[in-house]
Structure 1
Amino acid sequence: MSKKTVFKTASLTFLLTLIFSGIAFGQNWQTDFQKSLQTAKAEDKPIILVFSGSDWCAPCMKLENEIWSSDEFKNYSAGHFVLYKADFPRKKKNQPDTEQVKANKELAEKYNQKGFFPLVVVLDENGKVLGETGYKKLSPDEYIKHLETFVN
């Protein structure tokens, strides 16, 4: 093989790896809610706003492991939702930076006044609540269908 052929093959392999890893791991949890709203408007997608206690809330951990981390949800959400996770960990080592803590508290004051965890809020591109849910013992595909009932 010539150096040119080897280079083309390596480049193609690298490109395909990036594409497929982007599909498999394309889940993109936002950290700026205003940008989430802008993205939702630009892409005409609903926002999935998740209130989570990642290091203390057992149902939050189940939701993370069974739904958010699943390939089915990752693949589907990439083309259908804007994702924002407002995490409220208790352990000091897991705390987000001060600005993120402040932003998450402001979102909780508006969308989670009762302090439920986990709380999954489906919003339109203007921040209007379309529906709310939490952890449910469903498959990822069933959970996606459940979320879609708020949008359709």
Structure 2
Amino acid sequence: MRLVKFSLIFILLTVLSFSQTWLTDFEKAVEVAKKERKLILVYIYSEHCPYCHQVEEFVFGDEEVEKVLKRDFIVVSLNISEDEAEKFDPIGTPTFVIYDPFKGKVLAKLFGSLDAETFLSMLIKVCNKSSLRRC
């Protein structure tokens, strides 16, 4: 029980430490993304996922990753146990989905822990191929 509480506090503090506000409601993210003409990054996690903790600390905590996310994406985090996460058919955690809110379709979906450089490269590549922005 203590581990669960610690994990939830860790995730909350990690998410709150980012300068960008992360959303937890996908429909709200779609609304904001359309308004700001940005793509959506859906981050699907679980409390008991050690790879999620690594990603949160070493990838989302990376200055360059944070800069690109803030500039070009609306980020929504969903617990894998939530109904909203099911629509992306995650095979596990962490799962990353890049979603185009105007076309209503998934542009990319990745599963597993990535290093910051690989993650950043993937974000930029998919963003550049989208019709919304150039990263």
Indicate whether the TM-score tops 0.5: yes
Tell whether 2:19 aligns with 1:26. Answer: yes
Aligned-partner SS, 2:76: strand
Residue 36 of structure 2 aligns with an amino acid whose one-letter code is: E
**Judging changes above 3 Å, is the alpha-carbon distance between structure 1 residues 72 and 31 closer, same or farther for their aligned structure 2 residues?**
same
- In structure 1, the partner of 2:126 is 150
Identity rate, percent: 25
- Aligned residue for 2:38? 45
Q: Which has the higher helix share?
A: 1
Q: Give, in angstroms, the shift of residue 72 of structure 1.
A: 1.9
User: Which residue of structure 2 lines up, in the alignment, with residue 128 of structure 1?
Assistant: 105
Give the aligned CA root-mean-square deviation in angstroms: 2.1
Tell me how far 1:60 sits from its aligned partner.
Answer: 1.0
Cα distance change, pair 30–137 in 1 and its aligned pair in 2 (3 A):
closer
Match of 1:117 in 2: 93
Aligned length: 111
Q: Deviations over 1:65-117 (max 9, x none)?
A: 111122222222111100000025xxxxxxxxxxxxxxx622222112x5411
How many Å separate the matches in 2 of 1:25 and 1:136? 19
Between the aligned partners of 1:37 and 1:71, the Cα distance in structure 2 is 25
Q: Which residue of 1 aligns with 2:84?
A: 107
Residues 63 and 135 in structure 1, CA contact (< 8 A), matched pair in contact too: no
Q: In structure 1, what is the Cα distance between the partners aligned to 2:97 and 2:53?
A: 17
The correspondence of residues 91-102 of structure 1 with structure 2, limited to 5 A, is: none
Q: Tell me how far 1:62 sits from its aligned partner.
A: 1.1
SS of the aligned residue for 2:121 comes to: helix
Which entry has the higher C-alpha Rg, 1 or 2? 1
Matched, 1:64 2:50: no
Which 5+ residue runs of structure 2 have no aligned equivalent?
Answer: 1-16, 130-135
- How many Å separate the matches in 2 of 1:136 and 1:147? 14
Kindly state the Cα deviation for residue 144 of structure 1 after the two structures are TM-superposed: 1.4
- Structure 1 residue 136: Cα displacement: 4.1
Q: Please give the alpha-carbon distance, in whole angstroms, between the structure 1 residues aligned to 2:83 and 2:18.
A: 29
Question: TM-score with structure 2 length normalisation?
Answer: 0.71
TM-score normalised by structure 1 residue count = 0.64
Q: Which has the higher strand share?
A: 2
